[in-house]
Amino acid sequence: MPAMSFFAVLLALLVEQLKPLPRDNWVHERLKAWVGWAGRTFDAGSNRHAWVVWAVAVIVPALAVFVVWRLLVQTNVLLGLAADIAVLYVTLGFRQFSHYFTDIRQALERGDEDESRRLLGEWLHLDASELPRTEVLRHVVEHALLAAHRHVFGVFFWFVAGAAIGLGPAGAVLYRMAEFAVRYWSYRQRALDAPANDRLLDAGRAAFARIDQVPARLTAFGFAVVGNFEEAINVWRSDAGLWRHANEGVILAAAAGAVGVQLGGDAAPGITPDRSRSFSGGPDADVSDSGGSTPGVPLQTAHLQSLVGLVWRSVVLWMLLLALLTLANVLG
């Protein structure tokens, strides 16, 4: 089945482009219900219980998917491939977030800054009405890059790794559930005034940071390869610490260097919303902590297209590498 990984990812991306899941779809609602149930049922406030909740919320769905996938593979290999595609369809893809990015870019291109702020606020569930244009651009770019990593590259790497050791699509489910669980718990605590066990949040964040450590650096390396390699590596090494969370820092710093633009807290002085209150902001939603910015030119609307190209070239790079590995596996 590892040889089928390339076809599963390719077909899932094609299907997702043709028929994307709508926002707040049934899968999203079931995930919220599952993670919420795990917290209510198993969280008793201690560190031990926090890890129990995390295991129920994250590992149990991954194990369930693995068992179902294994049964299907034993019945028919094509059924296993169909299961891979189905799981990737709901865990991997640009269309789960790209419509907001596209709409904001179009609003900025036609000079409708009020609409771009409204869309950004709707995307992040925040009040962005007072943001200057430069800050709108920065938040759109940073959020879109992190979303691309968490919805595409991170899922991709864990799916391929899981398939390589015979786990089928369980790796993709593990990654998405680990990211989703922390995002949900953090949002409930900070935005809904529904406090969660601090140990639960700490455990979830620590687990996801470990799970995302290798994918984040591979994403950053991919950006470097398909962009300005030398500058991306230099900015990665010198400025990744501008962001509070290491995995976010390496991705954003490498992307900034690859394209040659300023990202970070001082890239565009202005009012910065508290992204930690955003459900869609990710598990490490507090973006800039040190108040600095990467070297490069100030962000302009034209850079949005450059960053889209950077992401798509990186997708092509990793797909080509996976195709070569698949071919070597078949011929070997």
Higher-confidence residue: 326 or 69? 69
Residue 189's pLDDT is what?
67
Phi, psi of 112 (to 5 degrees): -95, 80
Tell whether the model's pLDDT for residue 193 goes beyond 60.
no
| CB of 92 closer than 8 Å to CB of 151 | yes
3-state secondary structure of 288: strand
**Cα separations (Å) of 294 from 80, 143, 228, 242, 287?**
45, 16, 14, 8, 14
Length of the chain, in residues: 332
Which one, of 323, 229, 309, 331, lies nearest residue 4 by Cα?
Answer: 323
What percentage of the chain exceeds 90 in pLDDT? Answer: 58
Tell whether the model's pLDDT for residue 207 goes beyond 70.
yes
Model confidence band, residue 289 (pLDDT cutoffs 50, 70, 90): very low
DSSP label of 44: -
What mean pLDDT do residues 320-324 have?
94
What mean pLDDT do residues 95-121 have?
89
Residue 290's pLDDT is what?
46
The token duo for 199 is 């140990």
Tell how far CA 44 is from the center of its chain.
30
Q: How far apart are CA 294 and CA 256, in angstroms?
A: 7
Higher-confidence residue: 12 or 264? 12
Q: How many separate helices (H) and strands (E) can be counted in the chain? A: 15, 0
Model confidence band, residue 266 (pLDDT cutoffs 50, 70, 90): low
Q: Find the angle CA(289)-CA(294)-CA(297) to the nearest 5 degrees.
A: 135
The token duo for 116 is 């771009």
Positive or negative, the CA dihedral 245, 134, 302, 15 is positive
Model confidence band, residue 268 (pLDDT cutoffs 50, 70, 90): very low
Q: Would you give the end-to-end CA distance of the chain in angstroms?
A: 14
Q: How far apart are CA 75 and CA 248, in angstroms?
A: 41
Which one, of 278, 312, 317, lies nearest residue 139 by Cα?
Answer: 278
Which one, of 34, 40, 41, 42, lies nearest residue 58 by Cα?
Answer: 34
| CB of 259 closer than 8 Å to CB of 227 | yes
What mean pLDDT do residues 167-182 have?
95
